[in-house]
Amino acid sequence: MTDRPFPDDAQRADLGIDAQPGLYTGRHLLLLSDTDVGAALSALREGAGVRAYPGGASGTPDEGSAAVFDRLGVAVVSADPGRHEALLATARQAPSILAVELERWMFGFGAPTAAIAAEEGHATWGLRATGVPESACRAHGVRVAVLDTGFAPVHRDFADRVVVKVSFVPGRTADDRHGHGTHCIGTACGPRRPGTHPAYGIASEAEIYAGKVLDDAGSGTDLSVIAGIDWAVGEGCRVISLSLGAPVRSGEGYSRVYESLARRARALGTLIVAAAGNDSGRPGYVAPVSHPANCPSILAVAALAPDLSVAGFSAGGGTVDISAGGGTVDISAGGGTVDTSAGGGTVDLAAPGVDVLSAAPEPAGHARMSGTSMAAPHVAGIVALLAEAYPCASASELADRVLGGARALPVPSTDVGSGLVQAPR
Amino acid sequence: MTGPAVRVIVAVDPDRYADVVSALRRAGLEVDREWPRTGTLAGRAEPACVPVLRGIDGVLGVGAPRTFRITPQG
């Protein structure tokens, strides 16, 4: 790390605006030091004549003003071309301004594929988008762990399935009284032919390991989650799906403990997949990938809508690495507001995560939910299919295969990684 | 143990698990839970001990426990 918090080539990267008309709103996103927002705003006022007001107010900032989101350490600045140079110069000189990017529109990237969601006759839109109905694999005998709120005591679609349930929440059985865990298990391991509903499950012949690590209100602790991971690894599960997380602050970095845990799990044959997080408020703010999905050895999964656009809530990877020193401002990648964590923090894959039909505790039996929580089990289920197709593959080889088989999308890789996960044929 | 303890989670080299955990205990870690298979443990230590724990050979990470949550969108 040098004493210059803002690299010299920022302006050069900024010139990429003109090369991609229509992707940007014309406003700037500033990442401010969490501990020195006041200094950043003073620098903006004195260096670029920018006035600040609370970002919670409605409307968009007028030219020469900044909507400031204190809690997030983010400001959205409207600056005309005459003020642009002064803004960049101020950002370079003020240590309390960590990065500048161009605010981007999140709509209109590529052609919508609304036909996918037009009807869910034989299979959900998520299964169809990921090629599951065409896959000959069923993950027969593959063990899949879903660590969440548990699993429904009984369910009509799972009557003939192997379901191993263990609770790691003190004083609670593994029964799901929330619904989130049952929904995730339904996507990862549910049936391909559930009867009255569209097919919604991927690894339809997998052995299900349902670990309750979150209580019935949807909260849990490290002790429960680590215990659940250790259990799943010990049971020989080839993949663990984590639809849980804790938000991280920009620049916080990933947990060395969980990274070590994930590496050890891989060495023992288990790949961990996790939801990237739901804290974005696009297009204005793209939250950094949550813990533990931000660990390099855990696959972080973003959420897509039925038209294959990035879900507004889906977390995104960073484009600037200031804490490591020598980073460049990659405005041309259009990465939204940045996560400055040193390593990790990237989205690896994307999967369906909006309006996802899956299992629910009885008597309802089925429900639709949205979130990166719904996207992660799509990837976990497809990893299980790959484990059937390549039974001798190591966990890291499975990771390479699921990443390599993804369908590229016409959106920045910071939002979707390798693209839309695809099932093996 | 004297003084208020903080809760920590620790990752250690699984191939040297027993030796590293012994060193952690000697350095002041009170171990509450252990997962030798994945080289992870949870415990308590005085805040002043935490940098010492991090510096022990074979310790891969020391962190504060967090609370997780689910955040479905609808």
Residue A219 is nearest to which of B10, B39, B67, comparing CB atoms?
B67
Which chain B residues are Cβ-neighbours of A229 within 8 angstroms? 38
What is the nearest CA distance from A361 to chain B, expressed in angstroms? 16
CB-based contacts of A5-9 (< 8 A; 24+ apart in sequence): A5/A94, A5/A95, A5/A97, A5/A98, A5/A322, A6/A91, A6/A92, A6/A93, A6/A97, A6/A98, A6/A99, A6/A100, A6/A329, A7/A326, A7/A327, A7/A328, A7/A329, A8/A92, A9/A328, A9/A329
Closest to A240 (Cα-Cα) out of A213, A222, A220: A213
Which chain B residues are Cβ-neighbours of A219 within 8 angstroms? 67-69
Is A173 within 8 Å of chain B by CB? no
Buried b (16+ CB within 10 A) or exposed e, A157-182: bbeebeebbbbbbeebebbbbbbbbb
Predicted local confidence at residue B60, as pLDDT: 97
Asked if A193 and A225 count as a contact pair (C-beta separation under 8 A), the reply is: no
**Interchain pair B63, A257: CB under 8 A:** yes
**Sheet of strand A239-242, all strands in order from the earlier edge strand to the far edge:** A163-167, A207-212, A143-148, A239-242, A271-275, A299-304, A349-352
Q: Tokens for B67, please give them.
A: 């609370």
Predicted local confidence at residue A78, as pLDDT: 79
Catalytic residues of A: 148, 180, 373
Which chain B residues are Cβ-neighbours of A233 within 8 angstroms? 37-38
**Interchain pair A180, B70: CB under 8 A:** yes
**ipTM of the modeled complex:** 0.88
Residue B37 is nearest to which of A234, A259, A311, comparing CB atoms?
A234
Asked if A212 and A166 count as a contact pair (C-beta separation under 8 A), the reply is: yes
Which chain B residues are Cβ-neighbours of A222 within 8 angstroms? 9, 42, 65-66, 68
Predicted local confidence at residue A196, as pLDDT: 78
The pLDDT of residue B56 is above 70 = yes
Phi and psi, residue A32, nearest 5°: -105, 150
**Interchain pair B69, A311: CB under 8 A:** no
Band (pLDDT 50/70/90 cuts) for residue B69 is confident
Asked if A180 and A218 count as a contact pair (C-beta separation under 8 A), the reply is: yes
**Across A2-11, A34-43, B29-38, B63-72, which has the greatest mean pLDDT?**
B29-38
Give the nearest chain B residue to A269 (CA atoms): B38
A364 Cβ contact partners less than 8 Å away, ≥ 6 residues apart: none
Q: What is the pLDDT along chain A (425 residues), one digit of tens a residue?
A: 223 233 333 322 222 233 333 333 456 656 666 567 788 888 888 888 888 876 544 445 678 887 665 644 556 677 877 787 787 788 777 878 766 655 433 222 222 233 334 457 789 999 999 999 999 999 999 999 999 999 999 999 999 999 999 999 999 999 999 999 999 999 999 998 867 789 999 999 999 999 999 999 999 998 999 999 999 999 999 999 999 999 888 778 899 999 999 999 999 999 999 999 999 999 889 999 999 999 999 999 999 999 999 999 999 976 433 333 222 222 222 233 333 334 568 999 999 999 999 999 999 999 999 999 999 999 999 999 999 999 999 999 999 999 999 999 999 999 999 999 999 99
Predicted local confidence at residue A84, as pLDDT: 73
